[in-house]
Structure 1
Amino acid sequence: MVRQELVARQLDEQITARFPVGRRLRVLDVGLGQGTQALRLARGGHAVTGLESDPAMLAAVEETLAGEPEGIRERVRLVTGDGRETGRHFEPGSFDVVLCHGVLMYVDDPDAMLAGLARVLAPGGLLSLLVRNADALAMRPGLAGDWEGALDAFATTAYTNRLGLRVRADRRETLTATLTAIGVPLHTWYGVRVFTDTAADEAVPPPEPGALDRLLAAEDRAGRTDPYRSVAALLHLCGVRD
């Protein structure tokens, strides 16, 4: 919940800065998962295409969509496919905004996929990437007192996620160079989950009044402030198409 709320705030900030108020944007969500951001943007009036390879995820989004008003359902198109195959599904320059959140960690070589995302992005369009921060992999085991795990994390970009899968993280410096090379140079970046990365998945919001608002305010501030954002669990990078 913290991740989705922070990313939503940051994404809205970038969309507002780049596009006229009231413009209906063409949005592609690559690996939309449960569709949290896609549905939120559709409710905001935008035309959203979700690309997802997992049938279970697609079924979950379709079930959620079934409970939405007809006008919102009409603004969402779901496509079965892999993020590395955008060229098969979409024409160049088809979208004003492309989201790729929590996907690159499952791709061994992300450069080709990123180039494909850049291809379908219209000039002046926004590319939003959410990735695991390779420069902060030692933080989670270190804060948990796992000193062996922390020491091992300094020498790798691989890690085991909370699903038990062995995946990879990205370095901001490397992605910055890649985005420049594909014509979508980095415009701004944020940290996501600076203070709450070690919270259990099943944790509930603090019960005292206003506590969740204060938590989100602290996370939001840290995600925009050096040096805190550099050690966030996740990085939200926003590039703009030349």
Structure 2
Amino acid sequence: MARQLDEQIGARYPVGQRLRILDVGMGRGTQALRLARAGHTVTGLESDPEMLGAVREALATEPAGIRERFRTIEADGRETGVHFLPGSFDVVLCHGVLMYVDEPDAVLAGLARMLAPGGLLSLLVRNADALAMRPGLAGDWPGALAAFDSDTDAGGPGPRVRADRLETLTATLAGIAAPLHEWYGVRVFTESVPPDRGLPAADELERLLAAEDRAGRTEPYRRVAALLHLCGVRG
């Protein structure tokens, strides 16, 4: 997914331009730190104190220049209007967050307001149109049949999470003046790999990642991905 995000940023901004980036629900800060190392000014919002502490610990080991352009705030995506003025950012990331939000439209509208004109909104969501894939491939036919009419992912470890449909999010993004510009599938093939299986050898891993990247950009494979990566552009 990092490659997809870099492509979208590179298509919109000159090489070397330092961007103002907001990462909402940054988790352990993988994307945020990567973008700060690339020279951008990053603000990370995270409501989980444990994860926020892990990010701050990791940040403490970075060079001074990176620490100076990385700001962390304990907050969630519903509080952007409290902390920032409209148009404060060139790029807003919201990856793996909407699945925990019961009514995402208000959150999305708030995120879109944070974007400067022409800014990029990057979303990573659970794909509701592919919820039957994992139980079906595992031979769990009752689970697969139930998933066809569901918008909740009950499979796998962890709590049940909400899922989104591409058609619905496309309409929502148009309605908040950040219409869909491009979208990708994420975890097309790897979703069926048992989580306890270790990484393959380097050459096999390279082929796997190449196949995943190709599938995430190609019809009809991207439509059955476990996750969707949507990129909207602020009008």
* Same fold by TM-score greater than 0.5: yes
Matched residue, 1:185: 179
Matched residue, 2:205: 212
Matches within 5 A, 1:187-202: 187-202=181-196
Superposed CA offset, 1:32-52 (max 9, x none): 001000000000000000001
Task: Return the letter of the residue paired with 2:213.
Answer: D
Q: Specify which of 64, 72, 75 is matched with residue 81 of structure 1.
A: 75
Matched residue, 2:90: 96
Question: TM-score under structure 2 normalisation?
Answer: 0.98
Query: For 1:116 and 1:162, how far apart are their aligned partners in 2?
Result: 31
Matched residue, 1:32: 26
Superposed CA offset, 1:26-75 (max 9, x none): 00000000100000000000000000100001001011111111111111
Identical positions, percent: 74
Matched residue, 2:47: 53
Superposed CA offset, 1:107-154 (max 9, x none): 000000000000111000000000000000000100111110000001
Matched, 1:165 2:159: yes
Task: Return the letter of the residue paired with 2:54.
Answer: A
Query: For 1:233 and 1:139, how far apart are their aligned partners in 2?
Result: 8
Matched, 1:223 2:221: no
Task: Return the letter of the residue paired with 2:206.
Answer: D
C-alpha change, 1:196 and 1:161, in structure 2 (3 Å) is same
Query: For 2:80 and 2:142, how far apart are their aligned partners in 1?
Result: 40
SS of the aligned residue for 2:53 comes to helix
SS of the aligned residue for 1:226 comes to coil
Q: Specify which of 203, 228, 231 is matched with residue 235 of structure 1.
A: 228
Question: TM-score under structure 1 normalisation?
Answer: 0.95
Matched residue, 2:141: 147
Q: Tell me the C-alpha RMSD between the 2 structures.
A: 0.9
Residues 161 and 167, structure 1, Cα contact 8 Å, conserved in 2? no
Query: For 2:196 and 2:34, how far apart are their aligned partners in 1?
Result: 23
Q: Specify which of 4, 9, 34 is matched with residue 15 of structure 1.
A: 9
Residues 29 and 100, structure 1, Cα contact 8 Å, conserved in 2? yes
Residues 26 and 48, structure 1, Cα contact 8 Å, conserved in 2? yes
Residues 135 and 155, structure 2, Cα contact 8 Å, conserved in 1? no
The alpha-carbon deviation at position 202 of structure 1 amounts to 3.4
Unpaired stretches in structure 2, ≥5 consecutive residues? none
The alpha-carbon deviation at position 163 of structure 1 amounts to 4.2
Matched residue, 2:121: 127
SS of the aligned residue for 1:63 comes to helix
Q: Bigger shift: 210-219 or 197-206?
A: 197-206
C-alpha change, 1:235 and 1:24, in structure 2 (3 Å) is same
Unpaired stretches in structure 1, ≥5 consecutive residues? 1-6
